[in-house]
Amino acid sequence: MSEQDLIRELAKLLDETGLGEIEVEREGLRVRVARHSVTNVVAGGGSHVPAIPAVAPAPAAIALDEIDPAKHPGVVTSPMVGTAYRAAEPSAKPFVDVGSVVKAGDPLLIVEAMKTMNQIPSPRAGKVAQILFEDGHPVEYGEPLMIIE
C-alpha cells in the first residue's frame, strides 16, 4: 500500500470509528492521522510551500511522520521566509556541523531576506544532530532547519 493509500485508509477509519487520532508505525514510517489539529503536511523542505503555513481542512488533518523533523522536540524552525546560510560569509567556516556542541544562544545559521541578515541562535544547549537545509537555498516560515538534541 502506498503512503497515500495508507493515509486515505486511516482517514476513512477515523471517520468510521469516530476516534480523534490514529497512529501506525511500520518499516521506519510513522503515520499519524488526527481529526482536529492544524499541522504542516510537508516532511522535509521545498521551496514551493506557501509562506504562511497552510491550514489543513477539517475534518481530518493529516500529518506524515516519516521521522518528521517538525515534530522532533529538538527542532529549530525558520522564523521567517528567506535564504539560509551555514556560515557568516561564503569563505567563512560554518557556524556548526553535525556533532557540534552548542550553548543556548550560540549562532546556528543565517537566514537572509530583503538584505536583512538574521542570525538564528540555538534555543537550547545540546548537540547538533541534524542539519535539514541546504546552504544558500530558500527556506519557508516554520520550516525545520536543525535538530539540537
Shortest separation between residue 127's beta carbon and other proteins, angstroms: 20
Alpha carbons 132 and 148: distance in angstroms, whole number: 11
Shortest separation between residue 34's beta carbon and other proteins, angstroms: 26
Span interacting with other proteins, options 5-13, 30-38, 80-88, 125-133, rule CB under 8 A: 80-88
Eight-state DSSP code of residue 66:
S
CA 134 to chain centre: 13
Span interacting with other proteins, options 68-76, 77-85, 95-103, 124-132, rule CB under 8 A: 77-85
Span interacting with other proteins, options 24-32, 38-46, 56-64, 117-125, rule CB under 8 A: 117-125
Contact at 8 Å (CB) between 80 and 143? Answer: no
Binding string, 122-141, against other proteins, x = CB under 8 A? --------------x-x--x
Alpha carbons 142 and 54: distance in angstroms, whole number: 11
Eight-state DSSP code of residue 147:
E
Shortest separation between residue 113's beta carbon and other proteins, angstroms: 4
Q: Which helix (H) or strand (E) holds 7?
A: helix 3-17
DSSP 68-120: -GGG-TTEEE-SSSEEEESBSSTTSPBS--TT-EE-TT-EEEEEEETTEEEEE
Contact with other proteins (CB under 8 A): which of 53, 94, 121, 126?
A: 121
Is 95 a binding residue for other proteins by CB under 8 A? The answer is: no
Is 113 a binding residue for other proteins by CB under 8 A? The answer is: yes
Residues at the contact surface with other proteins, assessed by CB under 8 A: 51, 79-83, 85, 88-92, 105, 107, 112-119, 121, 136, 138, 141
